[in-house]
Amino acid sequence: MHIATIPGNLSRMMEQNEFDVSQAKFGPAQPKDMAEIHSTFEQSVRSAEGYLSGLTEKLASDPWSFTFQGKPIFTKPRVSVIRSIMLNHWYHHRGQLSVYLRLLEVPVPVIYGRSADENPFG
């Protein structure tokens, strides 16, 4: 569920000029079923697409701050944070998920090209 919500949640974070991690609630809800994960993911991606499509060059260049109890951890151009947190964070967790699937002997889906579970000659 965390992977499904990352794009939308981070888009909402980027709409502000800063995010205080001490105020965060990181416990994602437990989904009822796969359909809920899929619909959450689709809604999350639509939310991110809406945010990104309205992002102006000026807003993308404006500073964005990550804080803890009001103290700055870092301040970077918003577009840099979008790239590093929104996208790289998402890829990182997707990679973890593929490892868990492999350990459970579940065929790993295509992420970047074929997976080792696909026969290239089949």
Is 12 in contact with 47 (CB distance < 8 Å)? yes
- Tell me the three state secondary structure of residue 69: coil
Report which secondary-structure segment, H or E, holds 60.
helix 57-61
Q: Could you read off the pLDDT of 57-68 as tens digits, one per residue?
A: 999 999 999 999
How large is the angle between the packed helices 2-14 and 34-53, nearest 10 degrees?
20
Where do the structural domains in the chain lie, given as residue ranges?
2-103
Record the pTM: 0.73
Is 83 in contact with 16 (CB distance < 8 Å)? no
CATH 1.20.120.450 fits domain 2-103? yes
Q: Could you read off the pLDDT of 98-108 as tens digits, one per residue?
A: 887 888 888 87
CA distance 99 to 105: 10
